[in-house]
């Protein structure tokens, strides 16, 4: 039978999703549950002087009220800086201050409004610039005493700096002295939201013997176990986390957030089942968002366009707490150049506290933010050198033998081929070197280009695992810890097994829900690493199946295992394919005609531990943080009206080096989705705060997303440069479609309007303000 790799396979869970049968966390019946709701802070920075729950707790049906004093713990992914419920101080408007548990949701909400909190407002900071000033209020006066989970995260005591990573390569002064053209630019991106359609939700219950059961909408069930265990001193074995379908995540469901609250609420009601589902408004203002970024960039190039040196300074606005942002500052530093060879390089990447909603990983893990800045600067530098923007990028594209910012020697295997991506993009766009074409007096067509790359920055010891069992009809069950968040990861894994075992993918069943007790640990369903990490584990399990079947086959046919072939769900001797044993007759052990048994039931396993990664050298940033990069080139074409600053997005295109195409349509659609999210985010999405530091855009009426009819034509093509240590040579691609899009849109608009675009989002109003020099009075 032919291979399934490279075939268009429909998602395994397709029919569940079109029939209403797919169950998400809060689809579980509510009967038997108590309901929890959160009281949040109206102030961005204030001392909590008192909390009076007496009236609220007297309301009929209220079972418990929890404040920060009940469980004085600190939590955090890298640095334990966040009390799950604010204690003594609130650091952003929207921060949880109390949790009410009641018989119904209506009673819980009523009680929330009856809690009386007295605050003493403190001076707040709303930009990284303000936060770095000498007299800036300190958000975390105890910063130096916080427990560091990862030792390479080094907060600066008595400052608002949660962490810093830096890159030093070559000789900056010499590099700039060779430059013919130098540009210096500043950029600014405000925070925005993941906006998964499913809001965060969690259920918790504790049995009388102390077994904790959590059901949650999470990308990281195994991390929920670990963080609950470490925060509350519970043996990890007592915690079971279940994750059914997840209704979109985009990084926003990788941190542990509501799980802490539900657990504490559950403890307070003696383990009775508790349900906590936040409102959309809380999902935006209370739960973590995408970070903001300010950047200062200087790049120099020779007259032929060869870049000689660059300095990058990035200030990440992580909001009130650091969560995973220190590692985003690391990821940004490591990949700061984009897929270009810059021999002399300096990069400082700071993660800074402000009184904004705290932030967490977002599709692309910080890459789309810095890429907007770097690719806008590249565009200006190309122009200053008088070069075609595509040729300029090709001239500087990273090639085998070049050193990446973290001084890894680039190879086709670990980096892919950005030059080929650009070449293919040119063909796809029918590129003639003209960025702007006039349509009439007011309107122009403009095209913007941007390149992207990204490597994952997982912990150096991240794991994955897989178990394969069989059903009595010979069909196969694949068991992994991969969460189905919408990226179709498990279908890709099934394709890999189908190929390895030469069996029909229809006979492969996948376990879509994850239970941390039953499914082998998969680090997190993040960083687009399912194909690589789970893929490697799954391939080992498939090999284990083959070995077990061949051993049994050899016993049955009295030959050597090497003489046995497995294909089409059959086991046979290579030279006698017409005499075979069907899977259903062998996967539970084989019985001969006279009743004797041979072999054992097939239960196969494969596990994977990341190897060869290292922490960065603190001074130079030298070190290997991820297994490989994925590179790509993107373009956005717009029709811009110069009279009123409105524009229509006509086309968005991506050429991505995916290593190997596993599922063409599936991979294209993930990239389409990324481009769509990038266009939505860069053209309109923004967390707007009012003067009081409260979110002005906490719902979908004020926070606008792209709707149908506003989308352009999407085009995706692939380059296949294999990553040799990954199954079938495939690379990570789930997040990547978003990364270069804000920059490409910015470049198109800059060309069309003549406005030196340095901020997002690119609304007509913002463009008009930039052109006319009219600043917000706020």
Residues that bind other proteins (CB under 8 A): 10-11, 13-24, 26-27, 29-30, 106, 195-199, 245-250, 277, 279-280, 485-488, 665-666, 669-670, 672-673, 675-677, 699-701, 705-709, 711, 713-714
Name, in order, each residue with C-beta under 8 angstroms of 114's C-beta and a sequence gap of 6 or more. Answer: 55, 56, 59
> Which is closer to other proteins, CB of 183 or CB of 196?
196
Query: Looking at beta carbons only, is 430 or 701 nearer to other proteins?
Result: 701
Strands 647-657 and 713-719: what pairing?
parallel
- Could you tell me the CA-to-CA distances from 341 to 337, 392, 406, 415 in Å, in that order? 8, 12, 12, 12
> Strand, coil or helix: what is 761?
coil
What is the largest distance, in Å, between two alpha-carbon atoms of the chain? Answer: 92
Q: Which is nearer to other proteins, 6 or 459 (CB)?
A: 6
How far is residue 156's CA from residue 694's CA, in Å, rounded to a whole number? Answer: 27
479 close to 518: Cβ distance less than 8 angstroms? yes
Query: Which of 399/651 has CB closer to other proteins?
Result: 651
Closest CB 28 distance from other proteins, rounded Å? 8
Shortest gap between Cβ of 278 and other proteins (angstroms)? 11
Q: Nearest CA to 492 among 3, 2, 12, 1?
A: 12
> In this structure, are strands 62-67 and 96-102 parallel, antiparallel, or unpaired?
antiparallel
What is the full DSSP assignment across 500-565?
A: HHT--GGGEEE--SEETTTSPP-S-S-TT-IIIIIHHHHHHHHHHHHHHHHHHHHHHHTS-GGGEE
**Which residue number, 20 or 235, has a Cβ lying nearer to other proteins?**
20
Residue 750 Cα distances to 71, 292, 429, 638, 747, angstroms: 52, 21, 19, 11, 5
Closer residue to other proteins in complex, CB, 246/546: 246
- Least Cβ distance, residue 411 to other proteins (angstroms): 32
Minimum Å gap between C-beta 196 and other proteins is: 6
Least separation in angstroms between residue 680's CB and other proteins is 8
Nearer to other proteins, 10 or 123 (CB): 10
Beta bridge partners of 26: none
For other proteins, the closer of residues 85 and 107 by Cβ is 107
Cβ of residue 181: shortest distance to other proteins, in angstroms?
Answer: 37
Between 1 and 713, CB nearer to other proteins: 713
Q: How far is the CB of 735 from other proteins (least distance, A)?
A: 12
Query: Smallest distance from the beta carbon of 673 to other proteins, in angstroms?
Result: 5
| Cβ nearer to other proteins, comparing 379 with 685 | 685
d(CA 485, CA 1): 31
Q: How far apart, in whole angstroms, are the C-alpha atoms of residue 662 and residue 492? A: 7
SS3 176: helix
Residue 513 CB, nearest approach to other proteins (Å):
14
At how many degrees (to 10) do helices 367-384 and 389-396 cross? 110
Three-state secondary-structure class, residue 683: helix
DSSP 144: G
Query: What are φ and ψ of residue 464, in 5° steps?
Result: -150, 160
At closest approach, how far in Å is the CB of 22 from other proteins? 5
Please give the sequence-ordered ranges of beta strands (E in DSSP) within 646-712, or none if there are none: 647-657
- CA distance linking residue 297 with residue 314, whole number of Å: 9
* 465, 605 Cβ separation under 8 angstroms: yes
Pick from 108, 109, 26: nearest CA to 64: 108
User: Between residues 80 and 198, which has the closer beta carbon with respect to other proteins?
Assistant: 198
Nearer to other proteins, 74 or 705 (CB): 705
The nearest distance, CB 664 to other proteins, in angstroms, is 11
Q: Which helix (H) or strand (E) is 39 found in, with range?
A: strand 34-40
Is-contact 371 743, C-beta < 8 A?
Answer: yes
DSSP 3-state assignment of 750? helix
Return the number of the residue (29 or 612) whose C-beta is nearest other proteins. Answer: 29
**Least distance in Å: CB of 733 to other proteins?**
14
| Minimum distance from residue 23 beta carbon to other proteins (Å) | 7
The Cα 542–Cα 526 span in angstroms is 23
Q: Is residue 652 within 8 Å of residue 711, measured between CB atoms?
A: no
Q: How far is the CB of 301 from other proteins (least distance, A)?
A: 35
Considering beta carbons, is residue 374 or 675 the nearer one to other proteins? 675
How far apart, in whole angstroms, are the C-alpha atoms of residue 41 and residue 757? 35
Prior bond of 537 cis (ω within 30°): no
Please say which residue, 23 or 438, places its beta carbon nearer to other proteins: 23
Name the minimum Å distance from CB 710 to other proteins.
8
């Amino acid at each position: 039978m032919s291979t399934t790799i490279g075939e268009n396979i429909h998602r395994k869970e397709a029919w569940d999703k079109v029939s209403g049968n797919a169950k998400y966390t809060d689809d579980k019946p509510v009967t038997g549950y108590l309901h929890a709701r959160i009281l949040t802070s109206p102030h961005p920075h204030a001392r909590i002087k008192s909390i009076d729950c007496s009236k609220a707790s007297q309301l009929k049906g209220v079972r418990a009220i929890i404040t920060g004093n009940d469980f004085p713990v600190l939590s955090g992914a890298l640095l334990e800086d966040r009390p799950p419920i604010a204690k003594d101080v609130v650091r952003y408007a929207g921060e949880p201050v109390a949790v009410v548990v009641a018989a119904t949701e209506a009673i819980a909400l009523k009680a929330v409004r009856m809690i009386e909190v007295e605050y003493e407002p403190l001076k707040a900071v709303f930009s990284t610039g303000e936060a770095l000033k000498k007299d800036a209020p300190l958000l975390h006066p105890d910063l130096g005493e916080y427990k560091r989970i990862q030792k390479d995260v080094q907060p600066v005591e008595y400052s608002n700096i949660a962490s810093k990573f830096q890159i030093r390569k070559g000789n900056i002064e010499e590099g700039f002295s060779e430059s013919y053209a130098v540009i210096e630019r500043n950029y600014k991106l405000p925070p925005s939201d993941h906006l998964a359609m499913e809001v965060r939700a969690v259920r918790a219950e504790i049995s009388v013997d102390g077994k904790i059961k959590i059901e949650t909408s999470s990308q990281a069930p195994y991390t929920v176990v670990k963080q609950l265990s470490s925060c509350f001193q519970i043996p990890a074995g007592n915690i079971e986390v279940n994750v059914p379908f997840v209704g979109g995540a985009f990084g926003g469901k990788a941190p542990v957030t509501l799980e802490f609250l539900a657990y504490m609420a559950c403890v307070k009601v003696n383990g009775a089942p508790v349900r906590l589902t936040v409102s959309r408004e809380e999902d935006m203002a209370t739960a973590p968002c995408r970070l903001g970024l300010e950047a200062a960039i200087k790049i120099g190039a020779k007259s032929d366009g060869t870049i000689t040196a660059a300095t990058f300074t990035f200030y990440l606005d992580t909001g009130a707490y650091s969560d995973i942002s220190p590692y985003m500052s690391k990821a940004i530093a490591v990949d700061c150049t984009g897929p270009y060879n810059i021999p002399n390089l300096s990069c400082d990447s700071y993660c800074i506290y402000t009184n904004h909603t705290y932030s967490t990983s977002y599709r692309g893990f910080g890459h789309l933010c810095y890429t907007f800045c770097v690719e806008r600067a590249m565009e200006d530098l190309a122009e200053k050198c008088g070069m075609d923007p595509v040729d300029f990028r090709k001239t500087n594209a990273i090639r085998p033998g070049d050193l990446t910012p973290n001084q890894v020697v680039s190879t086709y295997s670990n980096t892919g081929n950005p030059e080929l991506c650009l070449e293919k993009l040119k063909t796809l766009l029918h590129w003639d070197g003209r960025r702007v074409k006039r349509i009439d007096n007011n309107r122009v067509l403009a095209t913007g280009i941007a390149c992207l790359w990204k490597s994952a920055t997982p912990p150096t010891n991240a794991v994955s695992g897989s178990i394969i069992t069989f059903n009595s009809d010979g069909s196969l069950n694949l068991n992994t810890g991969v969460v189905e968040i919408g990226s179709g990861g498990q279908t890709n894994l099934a394709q890999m097994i189908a190929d390895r075992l030469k069996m029909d993918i229809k006979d492969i069943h996948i376990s879509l829900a994850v239970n941390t007790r039953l499914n082998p640990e998969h680090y997190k369903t993040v960083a687009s690493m399912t194909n690589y990490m789970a893929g490697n584990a799954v391939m080992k399990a498939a090999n284990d199946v083959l070995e077990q079947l061949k051993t049994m086959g050899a016993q049955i046919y009295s030959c050597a295992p090497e003489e046995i072939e497995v294909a089409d769900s059959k086991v046979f001797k290579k030279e006698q394919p017409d005499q075979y044993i069907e899977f259903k007759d062998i996967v539970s052990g084989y019985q001969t005609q006279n009743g004797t048994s041979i072999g054992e039931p097939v239960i196969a396993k494969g596990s994977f531990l990341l190897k060869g990664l290292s922490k960065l050298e603190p001074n130079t940033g030298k070190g290997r943080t991820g297994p490989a990069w994925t590179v790509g080139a993107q373009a956005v074409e717009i029709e811009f009206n110069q009279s009123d600053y409105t524009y229509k997005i006509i086309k968005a295109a991506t050429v991505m080096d995916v290593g190997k195409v596993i599922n063409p349509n599936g991979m294209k659609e993930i990239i389409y989705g990324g481009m769509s999210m990038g266009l939505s985010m860069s053209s309109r999405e923004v967390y707007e705060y009012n003067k009081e530091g409260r979110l002005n855009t906490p719902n979908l009426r004020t926070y606008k997303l792209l709707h149908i009819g506003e989308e352009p034509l999407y085009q995706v093509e692939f380059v296949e440069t294999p990553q040799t240590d990954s199954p079938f040579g495939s690379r990570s691609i789930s997040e990547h479609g978003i990364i270069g899009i804000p920059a490409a849109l910015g470049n198109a608009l800059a060309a069309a309007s003549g406005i030196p675009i340095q901020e997002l989002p690119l609304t007509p109003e913002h463009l008009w303000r930039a052109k006319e020099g009219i600043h917000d009075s706020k």
